[in-house]
Structure 1
């Protein structure tokens, strides 16, 4: 019994279809897994934010591991939102410690690093800039980079309530004799008051 030779076009099409389908399944699964992990981390973060109390070590570790998982499993490019959250979670462990506190130095340094990565991945999102400026201030790092990211936050989000509120906090670290020389800082206070009753967005 004669068998017809396999059609090479059909074979190639099948292989391509199988490969593309497998890739879609893999990346879809990665996106779902990353999103689920980020949801868990965000739940912890929002709870700490609402209570305004530092987390327990156990809760913090669970949230940090979930956030790290979200960052690691997100396919393609780095996810700025996930990196920003990982920075905030690192900050939260010692958020109530004073400026320059040694015990908070490691997690605040890690937060700085994650915020910098988040900015690289999402360079037009102002809240990450203002958060980076804040954590640098808490580290006692009022250097050139501090002033650059604080000004960038204002330029990118001149009417955003969370950004202005964060910059208002940041301004308390800047020596009074330097504040009048910073044009962006002069406008922060007035604009923060103007948006105080606006809904957060």
Structure 2
């Protein structure tokens, strides 16, 4: 109750209107709210796992770059630590991710990279690398880097089968203008020359030419590999002596 005044100034009592009662949430609304909260919690968990996967992958990438720069296998304790990070990245990500699987394959490949091709003691780690790279090309089939690593993995196992041939073909198909991919294809070709088919050798000639016409470092490195395997004449002939640098390398036997 409250006092108000009429037009004549006489106060009168006025009853306040009662506020409408708040209706309790229906069962359907409560269910929708519960589902929304669960979805929000699920998204937070997924986001946290993806963040963990990204951080783990970054650590792996730094290690791989360092190992490649040093050109030598890491100490076993460090390798084990990086392997755990690579596994964590793959386990944490909600779906198969080609980048993380590729990194896992590279980590396994580095474990016994100094051992000879076909070495029985290195077979386990090389099979692990091959397995991860197979999953990587399934998740990311258009990336030539992974295909060329798969081909190299088959080479280290001494397996020159249809899978090896497919890896070479796919790497060349998706990376015809990638200098790094062409260098690796040329590198594999020189190392596996006696095992290559006629068609694979013809394709390799294209990689030889691209590398020898590319950077000075790549051309010099490839020529040195060819020399170490007694294939420098083949390399020079396949490139038709190319540019001035190639002619100099071939005519002077690698001496500039």
**Structure 1: which 5+ runs fail to align?**
none
Residue pair 1:93, 1:107 contacting (<8 A) in 2 also: yes
Residue correspondences, number: 196
Instruction: Kindly indicate whether residue 95 of structure 2 is the aligned counterpart of residue 58 of structure 1.
Output: no
Provide the C-alpha distance between the structure 2 equivalents of 1:113 and 1:151, rounded to a whole number of angstroms: 19
Query: Relative contact order (alpha carbons < 8 A, sep ≥ 6): 1 or 2 greater?
Result: 1
**Structure 2: which 5+ runs fail to align?**
1-20, 218-256
Query: Which of 121, 143, 158 does residue 103 from structure 1 map onto?
Result: 121
Instruction: Name the residue aligned to 2:178.
Output: 160
Provide the C-alpha distance between the structure 1 equivalents of 2:76 and 2:85, rounded to a whole number of angstroms: 14
Deviation at 1:196, TM superposition (A): 3.0
Instruction: Name the residue aligned to 1:28.
Output: 47
Instruction: Name the residue aligned to 1:93.
Output: 111
Larger Rg computed on CA atoms: 2
TM-score by length of 1: 0.89
The farther-off stretch of 186-195 and 143-152 is 186-195
TM-score by length of 2: 0.71
Aligned-partner SS, 1:25: helix
Q: 1:197 to 1:73 in 2, by over 3 A?
A: farther
Query: Which of 188, 192, 198 does residue 207 from structure 2 map onto?
Result: 188
Query: Which of 33, 37, 43 does residue 56 from structure 2 map onto?
Result: 37
Deviation at 1:38, TM superposition (A): 1.2
Instruction: Name the residue aligned to 2:29.
Output: 10
Instruction: Kindly indicate whether residue 138 of structure 2 is the aligned counterpart of residue 116 of structure 1.
Output: no
1:61-109: CA deviation from partner (whole Å, max 9, x where unpaired): 000011001011101x201100000100011111121111122111111
Please report the RMSD computed on the Cα atoms of aligned residues, expressed in angstroms: 2.0
